[in-house]
Amino acid sequence: MQAAIDAAVGALARTTAEDGRISTTRLDEHQTVAYDLASLASAVAAARHLLGYGERGDHEAALALAYAADVAVDLQSRVAGRTALWGLDADPLTGVADALAAGRDPQLASSIAETVLVNGEAGPRHLGEELEMVRQTFRRFAEDKVVPVAEEVHRHDRDIPESVIAGLAELGCFALSIPEEYGGFSAGGEDELLNMVLVTEELSRGSLGVAGSLITRPEIIGTAILKGGTDQQKQTWLPAIASGEKMCGVAVTEPDHGSDVAGVKVTATRDGDDWIISGVKTWCTFGGRAEYLLVLARTDPDRSLGHRGLSLFVVEKPSFEGHEWRAEQEDGGSMDARAIPTIGYRGMHSFEISFDRWRVPHRNLIGEDDGLGRGFYLQMQAFANARLQTAARALGVMQSALEFATGYAKERHVFDTPLADYGLNRTKIARMAAVIAACRVFATDVARRLARGDADAALGASQLKQLSCRMAEWVTREAQQIHGGYGYAEEYTVSRLFVDARVLSIFEGADEVLALRVIARTLLTDALRA
């Protein structure tokens, strides 16, 4: 499969190159193939990582084989009828018919499901003692504090209870990626981001909207400050974030500019020692409760500069409850906000915020003078970690769905037979487990590569995010289907998981944008340079 991906990448790179670089215009003329190629490259990368996991035991080997077979079938379907467009001259799976048949064998799926049905776990995690202790600590917290309030928050679109926020602050949840010198727990080492992944997965297993996403915004803001902030800014902001004293929100997206941040219209105009911010931001999650907003604004009026005219500010504001709020300054500056009603991912509340001459001190420009025009770059560096964290959120949602699916399948009888005994349901459960295992192993690798600062880690984070978030939609759909009619009823948790999963392929890099503008472009550029 990797050979087919490499051949297709080479062919598309040659087709879309212009003057030694990948042309965005030419790439856009081949969006369908580029999207399929990027998506498959992400899936094949996960399958490759699962090979080592498959050497750890019989169940692990079965999961690896089943997942690889599913990816192979996906490859066949995407290439069918488009062989020439992929730069291929033959069936990409020639010579692997026996392996494909073995991976697609319903008996293999049944044996996988037999193991998974015992406790709802996809497979052994093979974590060290310290990492397992972290995971179990946050699993207990999620069971004790998050799960009991999750349905109430979702059904009535409540605010996240302060008891959850305070409890997570006490456990050091917001300090995971902040260095020790600023009050955090990060001491370096390749497992520091893996801790964040495990914590996020367990909290998201309890509830994506109540707890699973609380780390994301501190992760983004903290990384931006660490990468570009002055020493004084780090000393001022990071300890307050690490302790949970200050909650965070991110205001990057605008009504007419989502992933196209180069088109940002919100302006920041210099006025002495201050900047005056005006314009509208949207999809600012947790923007009411947050006391720090990371705002991307245009500081250079020359719009021809595109992303080079953008800078990042830490905007301080009061904390507000509820779905609407207004903040005012003595000199007339104001912020007005309303929450955007959503089908899922409730509790965090995503706001549209209108800034009207909101005054911000120059000292709140990340990097101060050195930060002018660097906002886009700092944001992108911060989003690599955020994409890893979003993939972990998807894993938590998938794990919860698998547990509810297996539990219901064992309890529910149809025609005097447990749902778990039907071959089709066993195949569903096996495939769900294989997907989760693949994404989990991939996440472990990406977390360690990011922590080491590997050059290809950002691409891996984008691939992982794209794959796991798409798969979360499919896994929760299958879990809901196993529940039958009850899966559509709000009284069953699986219905919440289904609507929560839908947002994952949209935020922190929409699926299509990640595929075309990040993954495909990076693969093609690397091919040109090779």
The pLDDT score that the predictor gives to residue 372 is 96
Cα(240)–Cα(238) distance, rounded to whole angstroms? 5
Residue 343 within a domain: yes
- pLDDT tens digits for range 223-243: 999 999 999 999 999 999 999
Residue 347 within a domain: yes
Residue 5 within a domain: no
| Residue 527, helix vs strand vs coil | helix
Residue 261 within a domain: yes
Task: Look up tokens 């989003």; give the residue.
Answer: 383
Terminal C-alpha separation, the chain? 20
- Comparing 347-361, 425-439, 498-512, the range with the smallest average pLDDT is 498-512
- pLDDT tens digits for range 96-136: 888 999 999 999 999 999 999 999 999 999 999 999 999 99
Domain with 353 in it: 248-374
Q: Which residues are marked as active site? A: 508
Residue 499 within a domain: no
Percent of the chain residues topping a pLDDT of 70? 99
- pLDDT tens digits for range 455-491: 899 999 999 999 999 999 999 999 999 999 999 999 9
Q: Report residue 75's pLDDT band, with 50, 70 and 90 as the boundaries.
A: very high
Which residues 6+ apart lie within 8 Å of 19 measured at CB?
none
The pLDDT score that the predictor gives to residue 303 is 80
The pLDDT score that the predictor gives to residue 307 is 83
The pLDDT score that the predictor gives to residue 130 is 93
Residue 126 near residue 56 (C-beta atoms within 8 A)? yes
Which one has a higher pLDDT value, 497 or 308?
Answer: 497
Residue 277 within a domain: yes
User: What contacts 24+ positions apart, CB below 8 Å, involve 40-43?
Assistant: 40/1, 40/5, 40/71, 40/74, 40/75, 40/78, 41/5, 41/9, 41/463, 41/519, 41/523, 42/463, 42/464, 42/466, 42/467, 42/519, 43/71, 43/74, 43/467
| Residue 254, helix vs strand vs coil | strand
Count of structural domains within the chain: 1
Q: What is the CATH number of the domain that holds 257?
A: 2.40.110.10
Q: How many CB atoms lie within 10 A of CB 25?
A: 8
Q: Report residue 398's pLDDT band, with 50, 70 and 90 as the boundaries.
A: very high
Residue 230 within a domain: no
Instruction: Choose among 389, 409, 398: nearest CA to 214.
Output: 389
Residue 310 within a domain: yes
